[in-house]
């Protein structure tokens, strides 16, 4: 695979600049005060892990941005990790000012591009290139994932296109991992449906990627994404939704697209791609209690669409 150039000192720059930005209060994060717990839920015949995190600094994060008040138009130098990235230097790599975990960062487009647009082949390759670099060079042992919240009901908070990168909690296994790890690599099509766990009560379309990255190229990544996206768009249409909203999650092992019906649960809890990875971010204890009481799987079923596992498909779904 042809990777985009990433500086050899990217990881040290990432960690060093993050520590400096936090110390000088350019990043708003009180990670020491975060309260997290793993909740196990039995759904049908399987048991899944979900992490609920109470993080007070989420109250300081703007609920919705606008093109006119756009923090990505001229990002703060203290938050900028790479001022140019990509084959045509069309991206910047910057920290999230209101991170969920340490070193939480993003790829952003230099020019304004709407968050409602699908990922381009260059954006997918740029994301995968960073993930493979982190897997090789990050000695912390953390597992990274990238995610993109697309559309008005996806949980996106800023209209300027951005792809986010976070680490998973130590020892945590997302609900999707078991089915992704049980399959060989394949590009979904009408003849071979995307992976979907029939026990989870929401539609989620998953494709396992090759273990050997030399077996993967930019065209392959684009085909993986486009096949999953088309399946999600079909599901949105079949359920009467005229908006295009979905979450995209990417690791070095798999990618997933989850169509979304709503950005909020009961108009109280915002759910984005972290939620579909089983990570619930709550700005107060009341929301933690809500998720515990109703069940994480119930929340995801409400903001998503019905699971389509086992339903017949044809070429018109793709």
Task: Name 94's bridge partners.
Answer: 80, 106
What's the number of CA atoms in the CB half-sphere (13 Å) around residue 231?
32
Distance, CA of 90 to CA of 108 (rounded, Å):
9
133 assigned to active site: no
Q: What single-letter DSSP state applies at residue 308?
A: -
Please identify which of the residues 104, 133, 162, 204 carries the catalytic annotation. Answer: 162
Sheet of strand 35-43, all strands in order from the earlier edge strand to the far edge: 35-43, 46-54, 279-282
Bridge partners (DSSP) of residue 38 are: 51
Q: Which residue has the tokens 């900028």?
A: 80
Q: How far is it, in rounded angstroms, from Cα 255 to Cα 250?
A: 4
CB 251, CB 143: distance < 8 Å: yes
Residue 39 tokens read as 């909740």
The catalytic site residues sit at 162
């Amino acid at each position: 695979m042809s990777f985009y150039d990433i500086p050899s000192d990217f990881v040290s720059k990432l960690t060093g600049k993050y520590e400096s930005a936090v110390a000088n209060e350019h990043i708003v994060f009180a990670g020491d005060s975060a309260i997290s717990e793993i909740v196990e839920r039995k759904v049908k015949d399987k048991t899944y892990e979900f992490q609920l995190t109470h993080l007070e600094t989420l109250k300081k994060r703007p609920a919705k941005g606008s093109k006119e008040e756009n923090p990505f138009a001229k990002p703060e130098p203290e938050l900028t990790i790479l001022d140019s990235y990509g084959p045509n230097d069309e991206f910047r790599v910057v920290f999230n000012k209101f991170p969920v975990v340490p070193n939480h960062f993003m790829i952003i487009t230099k020019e304004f591009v709407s968050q409602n647009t699908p990922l381009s082949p260059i954006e997918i390759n740029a994301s995968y290139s960073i993930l493979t670099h982190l897997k090789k060079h990050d000695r912390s042992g953390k597992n990274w994932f990238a995610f993109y919240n697309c559309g008005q009901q996806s949980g996106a908070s800023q209209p300027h296109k951005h792809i986010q990168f976070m680490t998973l909690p130590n020892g945590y296994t997302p609900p999707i991992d078991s089915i992704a790890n049980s399959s060989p690599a394949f590009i979904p099509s009408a003849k071979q449906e995307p992976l979907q766990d029939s026990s989870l009560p929401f539609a989620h379309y998953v494709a396992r990627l090759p273990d050997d990255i030399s077996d993967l190229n930019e065209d392959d990544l684009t085909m993986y994404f486009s096949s999953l996206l088309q399946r999600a768009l079909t599901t949105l249409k079949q359920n009467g939704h005229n908006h295009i909203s979905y979450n995209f999650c990417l690791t070095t092992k798999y990618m997933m697209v989850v169509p979304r019906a709503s950005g909020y649960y009961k108009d109280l809890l915002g759910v984005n791609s972290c939620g579909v990875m089983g990570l619930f971010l709550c700005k107060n204890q009341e929301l933690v209690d809500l998720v515990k009481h109703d069940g994480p799987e119930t929340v995801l079923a409400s903001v998503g669409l019905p699971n389509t596992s086992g339903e017949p498909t044809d070429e018109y779904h793709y």
